[in-house]
Structure 1
Amino acid sequence: MFKRNHKTSLVALWMSLLNTILYHLPFFNFVFKHLETGTLRQLPFSFSLLLTMITANFFTFYLLFSLSRRGGKVLLSLFFTINAIAVYFIHTYGVIIDESMMGNILNTNTEESSSFFSLKLVVYFLLLGALPCMLLWRISIERETRKTFFIRLGLALGLLLGLFALNANQLLWIDKHSKQLGGLAMPWSYTVNTALFYIHQAQKNKKEIRLPDATSTNEEKSIVVLVIGESARRQNFSLYGYEKNTNPLLAQTKNVYPFKANSSATYTTAGVKSILEHKDSSDLYEILPNYLYRNQVEVIWKTTNWGEPPVHIAHYQSKEDLRKLCDSGTCGYDEILLTNLKEDILASTKNKILVVLHTSTSHGPTYNTKYPPAFEVFTPVCTSVDLSNCTQESLINAYDNTIVYTDYLLHRVIEDLKTLTDFKSTLLFVSDHGESLGEKNLYMHGLPMRIAPKEQYEIPFIVWVSDDNTKLKPNTLLSQHHVFHSVLHFLGITSSIYDEKMSIFENE
């Protein structure tokens, strides 16, 4: 096989078959699972999809090799390497590589991405990535004539059109499952969806849409602390009836109100955007901290996370900034967000203050590293990044410990606010999305909303108020967009975009 030159078309066909065999088990598992059972059309349609995939990849690979044999090898090597990593995540965490997942990946920082490293990932990389690349580079490719090139491309294109016509009656099924099918087809899942992500980001971020000016209706000194949770799912908070006591401190705290809420998305960037915007929109409107800062409200942002829209304020502190100021033994955990919190509030000369604390406490897969050892209340805990290797009990125990630590952090903020007696204050805790912990063999988050399980979008919306006279509406289910209008209400900020129905607070 390696001792003589091989025709470009033959090499392209071999690589297409290899690509289909190595990387598309999840694709065809999905097809067989979701096709109507008991029908004679199931097998022919599945075979047509297989033939379509082989032909489409042959068309692309043949074109690449014909344009440049070396360039084609470089690109296919890149595809095989990324395919191997993508299939690892699909097999291990049950993800689908759609546009939202590509946004998640492209916005992941180095520290977070390193937490996914495992021996299993190395095995996938070597067997499904490095080995096919070595095979490819040992093959010598012989260029074909221009006439042969056009004939074979034409035949491949004709076969694709024929397969399309043959399966026209299945277009509704394909359209219904297009995101999942596209997210499992290699290398189309990440190539097409990466391009779509950047195109849509460019469209959304051309210019932040400015909101109408706002004014303060009173001179009362008031503070809102908005804590944005990470991957906190509602069902694991004992405040909502969970059988394990994950909220021992908040349960004993006066004026704490837990509301049920659903997130707008299952990944961080979209979830945080929804928490900070005044309405559900694909456009980038002026977000809450920017809007209030422009309208003379003191805004303080402290974060150990990432993924928020552009924040235009003076007092923004990242994890790196906070580490320079932290001198306690918990600087490696989200407690670092409380560094100089009271001092920063007291240093302000303004009556209206918004503090945003963006946490990372419950982000997987290394849940056991997200809290100090003293908060390992539930044992045994999962310590592997390959969550499917852990028992569900140990996985949930590790995750529940992050909720216990979250309870402690919120309690600490409340205790600090209680000492600021000159201010009327409130704390809002809202998560960006939920988390799957092995239910239906799914892990973490990021599935498209229309197929996401409830564990990935049912979130807590916890409120504390300092004043016994502050009344809250008896809402049964909130959205992340309630935050914007509730903050304006509490701070006494009026604007033409304020929606009274979206505030959680009663008029006084």
Structure 2
Amino acid sequence: MFKKNLKLLDFALLMSFLNFLFFHLPFFTFVFNKADHKSLSGVTIIISLIILMLVLNSLLFYLILFLSRFAGKSLLVLFFIINSIAVYFINTYSVIIDESMIGNIFNTNYQESSSFFSFKLILYIVLLGIIPAIYIIKAKITTPTLKKFSVTSSLTLLLITILIFANASNWLWIDKNSKTLGGLAMPWSYSVNIALFYVHKSQKNEKEILLPKATIKDNKKSVVVLVIGESARSQNFSLNGYGKNTNPLLSKTPNVFSFKATSCATYTTAGVKCILEPTSSDDLYEILPNYLYRNDVEVIWRTTNWGEPPVHIKNYQTRENLAADCKGEGCNYDEILLSGLKEQILASKKNKILIVLHTSTSHGPTYSKKYPPRFETFKPVCNSVELGNCSQTELINAYDNTIIYTDYILHNVIEDLKQLKEFNSAMLFVSDHGESLGEKNLYMHGIPLSIAPKEQYEIPFIVWVSDNSKQLKPKPDQILSQNNVFHSVLNFLGIQSPVYNEGMNIFK
């Protein structure tokens, strides 16, 4: 098998065919479902994309291997291994490997990535990645002359050009679906989007653009606890009309108001940034905690999550920081964020306090491990990381239990704030984005916002205020946004600022 010398063109064609066979079922499933395969136009699109995929990849592999055998083989090995991982996640979670998904991957920590580990993933890597990689390394290839290489490349480019212009009538269809097509084409989905991610990142300002100076208007003791939810979607909150009672405590709590809202994005990094900035922007403006801290407000950030913009404050506390003084079962879950919180507020020497609790309660795929066993109200639950292996009932039960646990955490925040009699207190709960739970065969989040289903961007916005502090402006059916948070916190704490927008403030 390895003794026979292969011509470079034959080897490039073989690699393109294997790449097509192993990694492009999702690509062509999408094409087949979207194109009208019963019409001549649809058939033309499907056949043309198959030929283009095979020919274009062959040409690129041919070029790379001709320029450098070692570099070419190394890249092919890398492509097959990464392709095997990528197509596992595409098949298992219906993700699209676009630029925002690349950002998600680079912001993933070990704890999150390890939750995706499964035997099926290992099979994908071994069968579709490692075994082909061994063959690639051992294959013996003969290199053509420069003249033959030039002729072959020129004819291939001519064929590609003819195919492209022959599909001129289908360009509109291809442009309309380009984001998904580009996110499913291996290995160029992640190759191109990694390059785009770093290009766009280099074009963005790395240093925060500082906001104009703010002024504290009064000395009244005020505290806001902003709870940033993780993957919480509004339709599973009984406060928003969900059929199952997922808010047994908040539904009985006076001064709790629940609104529907939309997120700026479907992934954590952009969602959290949007919650903390005055208006949605691609630029990195000074975020709320940094802004208030710089203007003499006490700011405390507690997190069991990741992916937030740079936070420049004194009291930034992670799970590890909080674990030392936490006791009990809840310390293994998001309750750790409440450990000693009331005492920390009372110890402050400042009159204006912002607390940010960045939770991870509803992050998949291991929903059933995000809450203590006593909160497993709905059964049976999904315990697999391969969500498609569970029934939708099991999956939604596990997810709904995370909402019940969120309800418990928010209730405890409110109970702590009620005891601070000297303070005007408020709690705001806003999620970074929503979550798909098998609807349209989609799971979790991260689909580009332009094509994302509503489950991934419709989020809860829950507010509690202490007696005699503030009333709310929005009507119950008004849809809010994540940007309402910045201006509402400024208003509640009595902070005057040139960037304050009364129209985005929810308090009277």
Q: Does the TM-score normalized on the shorter chain lie above 0.5?
A: yes
Hey, what's the Cα distance between the residues in 2 that align with 1:212 and 1:499? 14
> Deviation digits for residues 10-66 of structure 1, max 9, x if unmatched?
111110111111100110111111113532122222111111111221122112211
1:325-384: CA deviations, max 9, x gaps?
Answer: 323332220011112211221221111110000000000000000000111111111100
Task: Name the counterpart of 1:219.
Answer: 219
Distance in 2 between residues matched to 1:333 and 1:179, nearest whole Å:
37
Distance 1:198 1:307 in 2: 17
Q: Name the aligned partner's letter for residue 412 of structure 2.
A: R
Alpha-carbon distance between aligned partners in 2 of 1:56 and 1:216, rounded to the nearest angstrom:
62
1:41 is paired with a residue of what secondary structure? helix
Give the letter for the 1:4 counterpart.
Answer: K
Q: CA deviation at 1:3?
A: 2.0
Give the structure 2 partner of residue 150 of structure 1: 150
How far 1:422 sits from its partner (Å)? 0.9
Q: Distance in 1 between matches of 2:53 and 2:406?
A: 47
In structure 2, distance between residues paired with 1:107 and 1:355: 23
Q: Percent identity?
A: 65
Q: Deviations over 1:71-119 (max 9, x none)?
A: 2111111111111111111111111111111111111110011000111
Matches of 2:375 and 2:148 in 1, distance apart? 68
Question: Relative to structure 2, which stretch is displaced further, 130-139 or 7-16?
Answer: 130-139
Preserved contact between residue 45 and residue 167 of structure 2 (Cα < 8 Å) = yes
Counterpart Cα distance in 2 of 1:196 and 1:349? 47
Separation in structure 1 between the aligned mates of residue 479 and residue 94 of structure 2, nearest angstrom: 28
Contact 2:488–2:505 (8 Å) recurs in 1 = yes
Counterpart for residue 22 of structure 2: 22
Alignment check: 8 A CA contact 2:37 2:43 kept: no
Give 1:68 shift. Answer: 1.8
Aligned counterpart, 1:455: 455
Q: Which residue is equivalent to 2:465?
A: 465
Inter-partner Cα distance in structure 2 for 1:36 and 1:210: 52
**Equivalent position of 2:497 in the other structure:** 495
CA–CA separation in structure 2 for the residues paired with 1:354 and 1:211: 18
CA contact (8 A) 1:255 1:468 kept: no
Shift of 1:496: 1.1
Query: Equivalents in 2 of 1:326, 1:71: separation in Å?
Result: 52
Q: Secondary structure at the match of 1:226?
A: strand
Where does structure 1 lack aligned partners over 5 or more consecutive residues? none
C-alpha separation between the residues in 2 aligned to 1:175 and 1:283? 27
- Counterpart Cα distance in 2 of 1:324 and 1:84: 41
Q: Contact 2:290 / 2:312 at 8 angstroms: preserved in 1?
A: yes
Farther-moved stretch of structure 1 (51-60 vs 245-254): 51-60
Q: Name the aligned partner's letter for residue 188 of structure 2.
A: W
Comparing 138-147 with 97-106, which one deviates more in the overlay? 138-147
Tell me the number of residue pairs that the alignment of Structure 1 and Structure 2 aligns.
506
Check conservation: 2:424, 2:469, Cα contact below 8 A. Answer: no
AA aligned opposite 1:394: E
> What is aligned with 2:481?
479
Which residue in 2 is equivalent to 1:165?
A: 165
1:52-131 pair list within 5 angstroms: 52-131=52-131
Partners of 1:215 and 1:435 lie apart in 2 by 38
Q: Is the alpha carbon distance of 1:469 and 1:332 closer, same or farther for their aligned partners in structure 2, counting shifts above 3 Å?
A: closer
Structure 2 distance, partners of 1:154, 1:314, is: 62
**Shift of the alpha carbon at 1:186?**
0.2
**Higher mean displacement: 28-37 or 426-435:** 28-37
TM-score where L is the length of structure 1 = 0.98
Is contact 1:297–1:352 with CA below 8 Å preserved after alignment? yes
1:310: which partner in 2? 310
In structure 2, runs of 5+ residues without a counterpart are none
Moved over 3 A (4+): none
Deviations 1:276-297 (A, max 9, x none): 1100111111111111111111
TM-score, normalising length: structure 2: 0.98
| AA aligned opposite 2:494 | G
Q: Give the corresponding residue for 1:417.
A: 417
- Structure-2 residue corresponding to 1:295: 295
What SS class does the counterpart of residue 331 from structure 2 fall into? coil
Partner of 2:358: 358
Contact kept in structure 2, 1:380 and 1:397, CA below 8 Å: yes
**Aligned-pair distance for 1:498?**
0.5
Moved more, 9-18 or 33-42: 33-42
Q: Aligned partners of 1:340 and 1:201: how far apart in 2?
A: 38
| CA offsets 1:181-214 (integer angstroms, 9 cap, x no match) | 0000000111111111122222224321111111
8 A Cα contact 1:375 1:405, kept in partner:
yes
Query: Which stretch has the larger CA shift, 451-460 or 424-433?
Result: 451-460
Q: Shift of the alpha carbon at 1:469?
A: 4.9
In structure 2, how many angstroms separate the alpha carbons of the residues matched to 1:332 and 1:147? 66
Q: Quick one: which amino acid aligns to residue 14 of structure 1? A: L
For 1:251 and 1:154, how far apart are their aligned partners in 2? 70
Helix, strand or coil for the counterpart of 2:462?
A: strand
Decide which moves more: 390-399 or 28-37: 28-37
Aligned to 1:347: 347
